[in-house]
Amino acid sequence: MVESRRYAIVLLAALGVTALAICAVNVLVDPYDLFKVMRITGLNVEKPAIRTRRLFVPLDLAGKQADVLVLGSSRGRAAYEAVRRRWPRLAVRNAGISALRAREAAEFLTLYAERDDTRHIVYLPDFFGFNRNVPFDTGYIPTIVSEGRLWRLRMMAVFSVSTLSDSLRTVLENVRAAGAHGGGGALAATRERARAQAPEPDRLRKAFAYQLRAYMTNPRFYRNYVLDRAAFSALARAFRKVRARGKRLTVIIGPSHALQWEAIARSGLWEAFEAWKRQMARLGREVGVTVWDFASYSEISTVRIEQAAAYYEDSSHYSPKTARMMLSCVFDGAGCARLDGAPLVWRALEDRLAAVRARRAAWRRRHAGGAMFDLLPSLGHSVGMQSRGGR
């Protein structure tokens, strides 16, 4: 009995020490910039985890004026920069969350529909955000964006093993950056130096190949995809709230590279892709919002990798220059032909879809057997597939 008690005490003490050690590391390194205890060059000045953890985008928005909200996935970063440049006197906020789900977007839209300061929301939906097989955690966005809830996030982060992992990553990246710059410097400068040293076509080719494989093999994107039709109902309710409050809502399907659309086709999802566009067009018609479509095979989106640096970071992410061209088309009616941008008008929708198919066929003929297609992995997995029945 005495031995059992002693064992229990030792075990509890070990667990307590471990928990306190995790707490100490997480608070001192502070990978999410929640505690602000200390900042030491080469240890925790840079916070790389903030860019990838979806909790911290709404946290960053809490309490900040937002005349214009740019809402989308990581692809929306370029659009955010373009919107800021277009309206420099307005408070433009970036609600870009990596792999944003459509239902998360609906929560953001509902929340900002009620805000008096927000006048305009630019929403950039993505096909992969409508995957029914990807779970969605409801309620966290309004909880975090609401002021006075920061203590909850701090409590979640203090003893979290996931936070500990991000603490270690923060230290490693800061040490690496400091070493690269002789004891000081930012991670961004380190990345820029690496980019400058790598030949541009080689760097882009690797970036394209990485993204295409990730999209085609990751269950969060095209693998095991089934179109989530219920997400459209959530968006419809959110769109109506935005409209009812007299706010401007701009919806844009962005201009990723043609290889990104080809990855959808190679994953067996072209019919689902067209069904998604039909549902987006129907949604726009029902709530009175124009949905712009740049997901096509245009002069810009079919640019060769060797000439793509000005227009694309990789197959998925377009550059701020491409985003500015996109906004010029939407708001000024200028340069739409270069990106093949067009509104998804319901009565002309099938003509639009047929035109994109024709552009795809012509592009494939021009590049048949070319090196560009070597970037697409050949996969032999089963893919969840949705029929065209969205008409």
My answer on whether 308 and 181 are in the same domain is no
CB 267 within 8 A of CB 225: yes
My answer on whether 160 and 299 are in the same domain is no
My answer on whether 205 and 166 are in the same domain is no
My answer on whether 276 and 210 are in the same domain is yes
My answer on whether 162 and 306 are in the same domain is no
Beta strands 248-253 and 120-124, pairing class: parallel
Residue 209 inside a domain? The answer is yes
My answer on whether 159 and 264 are in the same domain is no
Cβ atoms within 10 Å, residue 354: 11
My answer on whether 319 and 332 are in the same domain is yes
Q: Encode 129-178 in three state secondary structure.
A: HHECCCCCCCCHHHHHHCCCCHHHHHHHHHCCHHHHHHHHHHHHHHHHHH
Residue 144 inside a domain? The answer is no
Q: What is the pLDDT along the chain (391 residues), one digit of tens a residue?
A: 666 777 777 777 777 788 788 888 888 888 877 777 788 887 878 877 665 566 667 666 777 889 999 999 989 889 999 999 999 999 999 988 888 899 989 988 998 998 889 999 999 999 999 999 987 655 556 555 554 456 666 776 677 777 788 888 888 888 877 765 554 444 444 444 444 444 567 888 899 999 999 999 988 899 889 999 899 999 999 999 999 999 999 999 999 999 999 999 999 999 999 999 999 999 999 999 999 999 999 999 999 888 899 999 999 999 999 999 999 999 999 999 999 999 999 999 999 999 999 999 999 988 776 666 777 776 443 333 343 334 4
Q: Which residues constitute the domain of residue 337?
A: 65-134+199-375
Q: How many domains does the chain have?
A: 2
